[in-house]
Structure 1
Amino acid sequence: MSGEINPVSRYISHTIWQAVILLTMLGGLVTIAPAQTSFFGAPKASYEESEYVPPEEAPIEISAEYSQQWEEDFVEVSILKGNCLIKQGEAVLRARQMVIWHRKTRKTNRVSIYLEGEVRVDLPGESKNENSLLVNLVTQKGVKADIRRSSTIKASQDDPLLKRAIQRRGTPHDHQLKRAQFIVEKPPLEGPELNTVPAPELKVNFRRIRLFPRSAVPYNVQSFPSTHTVPPEQIWVITGGVNLLIDGIDGVGMVDMSADRIIIWTDGRNTQNFNSEIRQSKETPFEIYLEGNIEIRQGTYFLKANRAFYDAREERGVLLDAELKTHVPELGEDIRIRASHIRQLSKGAYLAQNGWATGSQFGKPGYRIQSSDIFIEDRYTTPWLGAGSNELDPLTGQPVPHKRAWLSSSNNTFRIKNIPLFYLPYITSPAEDIYFPIIGLRPGNDRIFGFQIESQWDMYKLLGLERRPGTKWEGQLDYYSIRGIGIGQAGSYAGENLLGFDNIFNGNGELFYIHDSGTDNLGLDRRALIPSTKDRYFLNHRHRQDSPFGVTLIAEGGLLSDRNFLEQYFESEFDNDKDIETLLHLKQQQENWSWSIIGRTRLNDFTNTTDWLPKGDLYLLGEPLFGNLLSWTSHSSIGYGKLKPGAPPYNPTQDVFTPLPFIADSQGVVAMTRHQLEAPFNLGPIKLVPYVLGEAAYWEEGLQQQKIDRLYGSAGLRGSILFERIFPDVYSSFFNLNGLAHKMSLEGDYSFSDSSEDLTNIAQYNEFDDNAQERFRQRLVINTFGGTLPPQFDPRFYAVRTGAGRGVTDPYYELVDDQQVLRMAWRHRLQTKTGPPDRMRIKDWMTLDLEASYFPNPQRDNFGEDIGLLGGHYQWFLGDRTTLAANAYYDLFDGGQQLWDVSLTSQRTNRLSVNVALQQIKGGGGLDSQILSASLNYVMSQKWSAGISTAYDLGENINRGQTLSLTRTGADFLMSLGMTYDQSTGNAGIGLTIMPRFGNFGAGPADFSSLLGNNAQ
């Protein structure tokens, strides 16, 4: 039939129209052929100048989807792309992309604008369409910009759009709205160079295109010209599967594309024949439409789609039903973005719409962030606050900026499966922090706080701020139905070369506030304490800086609202962490000498503290004298101290309190110098060290505000002897023995000390307990001893008996008195070998340490008993995972301490961990407790683990409490259900903890040992 259409032509026409429809759907992001013709092919009318001049009193308004902005010679330069619009007065200019030069003066703003791609100018009474345009505007009212996505990375001078804009701009024009002379760029004289042989090395202003079959089946090519464009185009339709490589893309290298079908548009002059390898100028148009199983690799990005369009000259493209993937080294895995369509706005910048982002590698992830817009680009960051970099630019000597993928997204909904949990309007962060800002969630209920929801947040991501290298910033938002709403912040930082000086620094800070409407329950006789204020808070900051020559600077600052807040809300920190203080400490240590100076002041009046205004110390350790015959060690200290007793509780009838006897309201100069000489020598196998120590000390005010001068001296002899026997033939696979060595040492230290001042007259300016221990001592006097502290339990006397303050460098040098004592120790080590035969190592199989002290003057020094401070420490390492331990500490006088414990810890496999312990605490005043405790942790499978612990007081016949936890380790979250009961507070509670395992916050891959450790209570 003469009128029948060829099937091949019909297919080609259908495919081309699909490409045209694709471009039309996407709002004109790219065009197939920038023509200077009308719809019917007739030349458009051009104009040289409009009669309308926008008033300078009108501001200039600029909007676009994407902006790349930097400053150059005091001129702000911007590249705008995507739905660009400029308005001043009644003049409106639109284009696909623009380049703007903005110069500010004292009274005016001068703006030069190069517009390109579907340029439309709307003026009063007329509208015009152009391919490109140069406009100069002036305003006295400033420039307003509304940019959806922006970057501050300076564009390369080889950027095609920027090069055309600079060439077009030439010499600046006056301020009237003008159309610059349109310049048709001529192609290279030789035209696109078509080669079938390997091309020589490419220059930077050329690109090379190579085509290969996607499989063993050759592709099919249809080629025909298009004469309806200026200049004419050549169109190639390739089917059957093709792999296309483009070399010479600046900053990216090679672009690798594969698809079932592609259409190529390029300059048609002197290009009628198809070749599998093309070499052409970068300014030559080269546009590609791809369809079917599309895969694109560009730099670190890998993209997949069903349909796509790419403009090689503009380095932009668009993909439908697409997925973007890039590997993030900091995350250790890929991030994925799936969207209905993804646009490449420029080199290394992509915009995904109606999509989701995830770090999960599952096809349908269990969690994701659903967003209306997701923008990803390459950013270059430099170290913050001198954080340091190992890589330096050889020309400038400055740290090389670090390239990283950066994500920004709008209208974000965090979903688990298809359930939306949280919403945030805007998020921006590095790609390694792709995940939602929440990093921990714990709902629960108990009798102290009621129903509760505790949550932790990544504040950088929540506020859309750039994460500073070496820093961590978390927020806390809690709800307690009985107490109120609590908010908090916590962060840490670390780096090098602070303020440009050679140093290493780190620090952390935290704060928390709650308007508390409840009462405190701290256990036993403190179950309903009324706080002194409803506005309860704490804040704390610590900083450490290490500099050359051994210089260390420590700065701390802390404030608490009341005495019981930390113990109620942050009990673990109160019991185990360092006290919250406000101080500045500078120290230098070199070889065997050091000096330090400290200034400290008290902000919390309910704590026992010494203000130092300031205090300095000087140390010299082990300085040899007379050819190493003697060794000299010294410590000198001087400062002005204000010893401040803590204020009594707000409700002393409920919160029992007794002032400590060694804390008084005293102040004044405190000075001390202490020196020791040692003369070590060997007497056969015996090591002997005779020594003598002398001290002179001064307190301007003691416990009764009297002046105190103290001279203290001590002389003695230390000695030790070591015995060893090897049993090489001892072997037992059951007890893990491969040879046995018994090492035994006998140690002794006799000393005679004399002090010119009684210890009971000296105020304790240098603390030896933290606040938690002092708070316990203040209650112990009443609730255990009936209001009078027995001298056997006075911590000062215990410190003197154990020799805690006798050392030259001991910080609490007040704790010495008249004393004569012989301290003895008998230490044993049974050692064996373990490991592979060629790399065996020595390890302890069993250890036993026995200690005792003999007091020649027992009435003065040991409450009437010659022998005291009996101690024993035993450990048997039955295997690498099983240990039997026992400890004991006894005094023989009436009411003396009788402490012992025995425990068995076993982790026979990676799945099971067991601990059983029995502990006795017995002393004067009716203190008698024997606590049996046990804990078991069991990993049932890769996903499930459980833990249980219990404690029972056999001496008082009281249940002390239990905990039970059940943990599920999922691919994305670690969820733990816990139940607790505490007899002391009468509290029972249940809680569900949800922790993400992705990104920088998770628990990492499933590991049995870590799970056992996490569940152990």
Structure 2
Amino acid sequence: MSGEINSVPRYVSHRIWQVIVFLTLLGGPVTVAPAQTSFFGAPKASYEEPEYEPSEKESIAISAEYSQQWEEDFVSVSILKGNCRIQQGEATLRSRQMVIWHRKTRQTDRISVYMEGEVRVDLPGESKTENSLLVNLVTQNGLKQDFRRPARITTAPDDPVLNRAIERRGIPHDHQLKRAQFIVEKPPLEGPELSPIPEQEIVTDFRRIRLFPRSAVPYNVQSFPSTHTVPPEQIWVITGGVNLLIDGVEGLEMVDMSADRIIIWTDGRNTQNFNSEIRQSKETPFEIYLEGNIEIRQGTYFLKANRAFYDAREERAVMLDAELKTRLPELGEDIRVRASQIRQLSKGAYLAQNAWATGSQFGKPGYKIQSSDVFIEDRYTTPWLGSGSAELDPITGQPMPEKRAWLTSSNNTFEIGNVPLFYLPYVSSPAEDIYFPITGLRFGNDRIFGFQVETEWDMFKLLGLERPEGTKWEGQVDYYSYRGVGIGQSGNYQGANLFGFDNIFSGNAEAFYIHDSGTDNLGLDRRDLVPSTKDRYFLNHQHRQTSPFGMTLSSEAGLFSDRNFQQEYFQSDFNNRKDVETLLHLKQQQDNWSWSVIGRTKLNGYENTTDWLPKADLFLLGEPLFGNLVNWTSHSSVGYGKLKPGSAPYNPQQDVFTPLPFIADSQGLVAMTRNQLEAPFNLGPVILTPYVMGEAAYWEQGLQQQQIDRLYGSAGLRGSIMAERIFPDVYNPYFNLNGLAHKMVLEADYSFSDASENLSGIAQYNEFDDNAQEMFRERLVINTFGGVLPPQFDPRFYAVRTGAGRGVTDPYYELVDDQQVLRMAWRHRLQTKTGPPDRMRTKDWMTLDLEASYFPDADRDNFGEDFGLLGGHYQWFLGDRTTLAANAYYDVFDGAQQLWDVSLTSQRTNRLSVNVALQQIKGGADLDSQILSAGLNYVMSQKWSAGISTAYDLGENVNRGQILSLTRTGADFITSLGMSYNQSTGNAGIGLTIMPRFGNFGGGPADLSSILGNTASQ
């Protein structure tokens, strides 16, 4: 025991030696039953007026969080709010709000104080609480004032607290005034309800100690004085199991202790016989030694130990072989810190030595962070960025400081089981981020990147920075044996009132860099491309901010080192995400009108991009005219554009390239205005809408840098008719039918359009494809069509046929030409009822949409065929978990596209989901593919699940690839093993992913793409 005592402070060591002596010398125990006493030791029937009279020679100290002060007829008036406190001698007055009238004479200061909101008066041997109170005080030794925020010199005649105080001063007193004595009024029977002011800290002058048996068996007490100390002490030794409660510890909640045996030291001068309830000044020494099944609860902290020492006056403690547990609402779970020694250094500050911390609730945790020292303290922070508004101070309107538990640890080792994986010399973070900074770990191997280790890190925790609410910042360190070491970061944020203005904002940022020593494999004929640079990187940032009056501000900035970097390393983003751009966009939308201004520039040289320096748009939608007989819709646009074609690939022999014919190096003024009038009316059951639209457009430079003026007009008639029939008696439980309704709509739209300029000479300033599609088109001309693009596959002619640019608000208004067309559609809905009998709802049971277009001038508009753009879309919802779908899109001219697909998706149980699909893509003589794909996911148990997917090209008789994954969902980690094969790149790979399931990381099923990483993307 002596070796252990040497590791604790000297004053604790002294107490422990006393414990040894007392336990050796004490004789038979004295049994004391716990007594039920009043707050002061004896019950009182009712409150009596205090007999204590503070001396006029004692000064008065006044403190509060905030104050307002002004002068009225030589009297100083103050309104105090938040932790209001007045001290004179041993008398203390507290409340949430106060009004003070202060009159100063040559020798004295006289104050009249009105208090309300949790009013408390503490006197020697007595205490009183009221809703409101009026008190008069006198002093000859001056006033001392201490306000946390500087006093504001202003009048407040309309302040409700002041009005209530003035009214209260006019009520006749029930007690005659006595010099230098509290005069206490009885509160009025009725009064206004008061809203409490947030309180930062409650300061008390007294502590209360209560003792109870730990079980149904009474405890034993031995009590005797110790005269060998100055001042003398009273010592109590309590055995048999005791529960001890301490109230009034400064700034803390009740301290609840229990142990098999305890020893108490306290001041022996004023201590009488042992009592199970004691009230004493907070400055009175009170020290406790505990041993045997110790449990201590203080606020959100719960501690267990074998031996402990606690000093209530100094608010210090030592616990040996201890464990600390606290609940973190932000995390949604408990954290545990176990150590050979935990010391409470001061209020809210703990030091754990030779400790480990974990969020696992198992006795033997699956993971933990082993540290030599863990320091836990309370910090107060004011959020500068966050989700929504922080709690505001009611007086100043400024954000209130937030109390957070903060951990700082040294010599940290992250262990899974007992196997150490990572080491960090220093970590500092909020308690809710107790976990090791690593948030993701993946191992893999394939033919493109070689052996791979990919890691993700929590940067706030790694750097010891305060994490603003609503933000996430992760770092990335990766190793690829064939390519090199890559580093990166990603993060997002959201919040409100940026720069002090009324707004809501969000954004994200990401970056990555690698010194690449390998070559790119992009599939088929691009399996060995030499990058244009070895230093490869990308930067991307997006920000969006909304403000009152419909204002929206968006900004983006993005840069890639070379043409193929995103395709190689982030193929899923390249195929599916929005293009990376650099722009600034301001928009306002109110009712049926809006305007916007955009500025954009090109940073990536390989992209086909239009710089707008800048461009402005104005929209007006559906404005009624002539008593709602006619609706007017308008769109006007003007800007200075620079159309910049993308550069050719670095490897033109392998990475084939043909410039897009509608992109040229053109620049200049681009302006357009479109206006449409439509007059809808009903003709019996038919809804008819005649319309006319006109456009005037100007391009300073076209494809041959020529000036272009275009006038375009369109007129037509839209119509629709709906019919329905209800079959209420149709019922079939196997097909989920509970009544049936057939709703049918016939639609038609005839239009005649004429343009003064042919589309072929107009440069495409407004993009209609993203980068992935444009780069595919640049290769398609050579590797599929031998260098000449058939006109039926020209994307701009296809857009004209489908009417993609005819609408008033369509952004790519260049895509119109002479045309006459009748578009027809026949839409069906079979609907049934579902749900509980008292809350049934209507849902689609089967849908079918048929579309076709008729071109009167077929040679000009549809490659010689009268009908085209034949389409059909079918869905059958057999149940809530099974869907059969089919789609088709056909043209009938020679070499036209023939697209169709059919699929079945089913999840008949929560454990099994299946998807089977067959898709045909056919165009011309050289493009013909029929791909059969299937996927299955099966949950074998609560811990194990598996997934498999495969694709096979029936048209070319080629295996396209497979993906297989096996996932184990544990209490602390999700571990997934994945394997994949991709015929296009000739790549086969295997990957192992470990994702933490604790804290703010994960907890749901692993995503297949994250499991396989780069392997799956190839």
| Same fold by TM-score greater than 0.5 | yes
**In structure 2, the residue corresponding to 1:694 is in which secondary structure?**
strand
Partners of 2:129 and 2:768 in 1: CA distance? 79
Partners of 1:386 and 1:885 in 2: CA distance? 44
Partners of 2:258 and 2:672 in 1: CA distance? 82
Identity %: 82
Partners of 1:30 and 1:890 in 2: CA distance? 89
For the pair 1:752 / 2:752, whether they are aligned, the reply is: yes
Partners of 1:156 and 1:307 in 2: CA distance? 40
Match of 1:26 in 2: 8
Does the Cα contact within 8 Å between 1:592 and 1:621 map onto a contact in 2?
Answer: yes
For the pair 1:518 / 2:518, whether they are aligned, the reply is: yes
Partners of 2:639 and 2:389 in 1: CA distance? 41
Q: For 1:26, give the aligned amino acid.
A: V
Query: Which blocks of at least 5 consecutive residues in structure 1 are unaligned?
Result: 1-17, 35-154, 160-189
Partners of 2:756 and 2:215 in 1: CA distance? 98
Out of 870-879 and 380-389, give the one that drifted further: 380-389
Partners of 1:25 and 1:982 in 2: CA distance? 62
Does the Cα contact within 8 Å between 2:386 and 2:494 map onto a contact in 1?
Answer: no
Does the Cα contact within 8 Å between 1:450 and 1:482 map onto a contact in 2?
Answer: yes
Residue-pair matches, total: 842
For the pair 1:299 / 2:299, whether they are aligned, the reply is: yes
Q: How does 1:833-844 map to 2 (within 5 A)?
A: 833-844=833-844
Partners of 1:244 and 1:225 in 2: CA distance? 21
Q: For 2:736, give the aligned amino acid.
A: N
Match of 2:228 in 1: 228
Partners of 2:275 and 2:685 in 1: CA distance? 92
Match of 2:279 in 1: 279
Q: Output one character per residue of 1:838-888: Cα deviation in whole Å (capped at 9) or x when no partner.
A: 111111100000000000000000000000000000000000000000000
Does the Cα contact within 8 Å between 1:224 and 1:272 map onto a contact in 2?
Answer: no
**In structure 2, the residue corresponding to 1:542 is in which secondary structure?**
strand
Q: How does 1:465-544 map to 2 (within 5 A)?
A: 465-544=465-544
Q: For 1:354, give the aligned amino acid.
A: N
Partners of 1:583 and 1:158 in 2: CA distance? 59
Q: How does 1:259-658 map to 2 (within 5 A)?
A: 259-385=259-385, 388-389=388-389, 391-658=391-658
Does the Cα contact within 8 Å between 1:289 and 1:308 map onto a contact in 2?
Answer: yes
Does the Cα contact within 8 Å between 1:563 and 1:606 map onto a contact in 2?
Answer: yes
Q: For 2:644, give the aligned amino acid.
A: K
Q: For 1:937, give the aligned amino acid.
A: N
Query: In the TM superposition, what is the alpha-carbon distance from 1:28 to its structure 2 partner?
Result: 3.0
Partners of 1:923 and 1:21 in 2: CA distance? 86
Does the Cα contact within 8 Å between 2:439 and 2:996 map onto a contact in 1?
Answer: yes
For the pair 1:849 / 2:849, whether they are aligned, the reply is: yes
Query: In the TM superposition, what is the alpha-carbon distance from 1:434 to its structure 2 partner?
Result: 1.1
Query: In the TM superposition, what is the alpha-carbon distance from 1:1001 to its structure 2 partner?
Result: 1.1
Match of 2:863 in 1: 863
Query: In the TM superposition, what is the alpha-carbon distance from 1:781 to its structure 2 partner?
Result: 0.2
Partners of 2:948 and 2:698 in 1: CA distance? 55
**In structure 1, the residue corresponding to 2:562 is in which secondary structure?**
coil
Q: For 1:782, give the aligned amino acid.
A: I
Does the Cα contact within 8 Å between 1:302 and 1:324 map onto a contact in 2?
Answer: yes
Does the Cα contact within 8 Å between 1:937 and 1:1012 map onto a contact in 2?
Answer: no
Q: How does 1:739-778 map to 2 (within 5 A)?
A: 739-778=739-778
Does the Cα contact within 8 Å between 2:389 and 2:497 map onto a contact in 1?
Answer: no
Q: For 1:578, give the aligned amino acid.
A: K
For the pair 1:975 / 2:962, whether they are aligned, the reply is: no
Query: In the TM superposition, what is the alpha-carbon distance from 1:402 to its structure 2 partner?
Result: 2.6
Query: In the TM superposition, what is the alpha-carbon distance from 1:229 to its structure 2 partner?
Result: 1.0
**In structure 2, the residue corresponding to 1:260 is in which secondary structure?**
strand
Q: For 2:244, give the aligned amino acid.
A: L
Q: For 1:527, give the aligned amino acid.
A: R
Partners of 1:199 and 1:264 in 2: CA distance? 29
Q: Output one character per residue of 1:52-75: Cα deviation in whole Å (capped at 9) or x when no partner.
A: xxxxxxxxxxxxxxxxxxxxxxxx
Does the Cα contact within 8 Å between 1:948 and 1:964 map onto a contact in 2?
Answer: yes
Query: In the TM superposition, what is the alpha-carbon distance from 1:379 to its structure 2 partner?
Result: 2.3
Match of 2:70 in 1: none
Q: Output one character per residue of 1:71-128: Cα deviation in whole Å (capped at 9) or x when no partner.
A: xxxxxxxxxxxxxxxxxxxxxxxxxxxxxxxxxxxxxxxxxxxxxxxxxxxxxxxxxx
Does the Cα contact within 8 Å between 1:567 and 1:574 map onto a contact in 2?
Answer: yes
Query: In the TM superposition, what is the alpha-carbon distance from 1:469 to its structure 2 partner?
Result: 1.6
* CA RMSD between the two structures: 2.3
Query: In the TM superposition, what is the alpha-carbon distance from 1:269 to its structure 2 partner?
Result: 0.7
Q: For 1:577, give the aligned amino acid.
A: R
Closer/same/farther in 2, CA of residues 590 and 884 from structure 1, 3 Å limit: same
Normalising by structure 2, report the TM-score: 0.81
Closer/same/farther in 2, CA of residues 291 and 390 from structure 1, 3 Å limit: same
Does the Cα contact within 8 Å between 1:191 and 1:280 map onto a contact in 2?
Answer: no
Partners of 1:283 and 1:267 in 2: CA distance? 10
Q: How does 1:133-212 map to 2 (within 5 A)?
A: 204-212=204-212
Partners of 1:521 and 1:1014 in 2: CA distance? 20
Match of 2:878 in 1: 878
Match of 1:71 in 2: none
**In structure 1, the residue corresponding to 2:10 is in which secondary structure?**
coil
Normalising by structure 1, report the TM-score: 0.81
Q: For 1:852, give the aligned amino acid.
A: A
Query: In the TM superposition, what is the alpha-carbon distance from 1:524 to its structure 2 partner?
Result: 0.6
Query: In the TM superposition, what is the alpha-carbon distance from 1:729 to its structure 2 partner?
Result: 0.5
Query: In the TM superposition, what is the alpha-carbon distance from 1:764 to its structure 2 partner?
Result: 0.1
Does the Cα contact within 8 Å between 1:875 and 1:885 map onto a contact in 2?
Answer: yes
Partners of 2:936 and 2:772 in 1: CA distance? 29
Q: Output one character per residue of 1:759-797: Cα deviation in whole Å (capped at 9) or x when no partner.
A: 000000000000000000000000110000000000000
Query: In the TM superposition, what is the alpha-carbon distance from 1:426 to its structure 2 partner?
Result: 1.0
Partners of 1:265 and 1:191 in 2: CA distance? 25
Q: Output one character per residue of 1:474-515: Cα deviation in whole Å (capped at 9) or x when no partner.
A: 011111111111110111111000000000001101010111
Match of 1:810 in 2: 810
Does the Cα contact within 8 Å between 1:594 and 1:619 map onto a contact in 2?
Answer: yes
Q: For 1:836, give the aligned amino acid.
A: P
Match of 2:916 in 1: 916
Partners of 1:1012 and 1:984 in 2: CA distance? 20
Q: Which runs of 4+ in 1 moved over 4 A?
A: 20-24, 29-34, 155-159, 190-193, 198-203, 1010-1017
Match of 2:721 in 1: 721
Q: How does 1:661-700 map to 2 (within 5 A)?
A: 661-700=661-700
**In structure 2, the residue corresponding to 1:774 is in which secondary structure?**
helix
Out of 886-895 and 463-472, give the one that drifted further: 463-472
For the pair 1:780 / 2:780, whether they are aligned, the reply is: yes
Q: Output one character per residue of 1:810-844: Cα deviation in whole Å (capped at 9) or x when no partner.
A: 00000000000000000000011111111111111
Does the Cα contact within 8 Å between 2:639 and 2:670 map onto a contact in 1?
Answer: yes
Does the Cα contact within 8 Å between 1:265 and 1:288 map onto a contact in 2?
Answer: yes
Query: In the TM superposition, what is the alpha-carbon distance from 1:644 to its structure 2 partner?
Result: 0.3
Partners of 1:527 and 1:508 in 2: CA distance? 33
Q: For 2:326, give the aligned amino acid.
A: T
Query: Which blocks of at least 5 consecutive residues in structure 2 are unaligned?
Result: 17-82, 88-121, 131-201
**In structure 2, the residue corresponding to 1:692 is in which secondary structure?**
strand
Q: For 1:857, give the aligned amino acid.
A: D
Query: In the TM superposition, what is the alpha-carbon distance from 1:913 to its structure 2 partner?
Result: 0.5
Q: For 2:918, give the aligned amino acid.
A: L
Q: Output one character per residue of 1:312-354: Cα deviation in whole Å (capped at 9) or x when no partner.
A: 0011111011111111001111111111111111122211111
Query: In the TM superposition, what is the alpha-carbon distance from 1:253 to its structure 2 partner?
Result: 2.4
Partners of 1:446 and 1:872 in 2: CA distance? 42
Query: In the TM superposition, what is the alpha-carbon distance from 1:22 to its structure 2 partner?
Result: 6.3
Does the Cα contact within 8 Å between 1:937 and 1:1015 map onto a contact in 2?
Answer: no
Query: In the TM superposition, what is the alpha-carbon distance from 1:275 to its structure 2 partner?
Result: 1.0
Query: In the TM superposition, what is the alpha-carbon distance from 1:746 to its structure 2 partner?
Result: 0.3
Q: For 1:313, give the aligned amino acid.
A: R
Closer/same/farther in 2, CA of residues 24 and 286 from structure 1, 3 Å limit: farther
Partners of 2:394 and 2:465 in 1: CA distance? 31
Q: Output one character per residue of 1:537-570: Cα deviation in whole Å (capped at 9) or x when no partner.
A: 1110011010111111111111110000000000
Q: For 2:7, give the aligned amino acid.
A: M
Does the Cα contact within 8 Å between 2:804 and 2:815 map onto a contact in 1?
Answer: yes
Partners of 2:264 and 2:277 in 1: CA distance? 13
Does the Cα contact within 8 Å between 1:386 and 1:498 map onto a contact in 2?
Answer: no
Query: In the TM superposition, what is the alpha-carbon distance from 1:391 to its structure 2 partner?
Result: 3.2
**In structure 1, the residue corresponding to 2:574 is in which secondary structure?**
helix
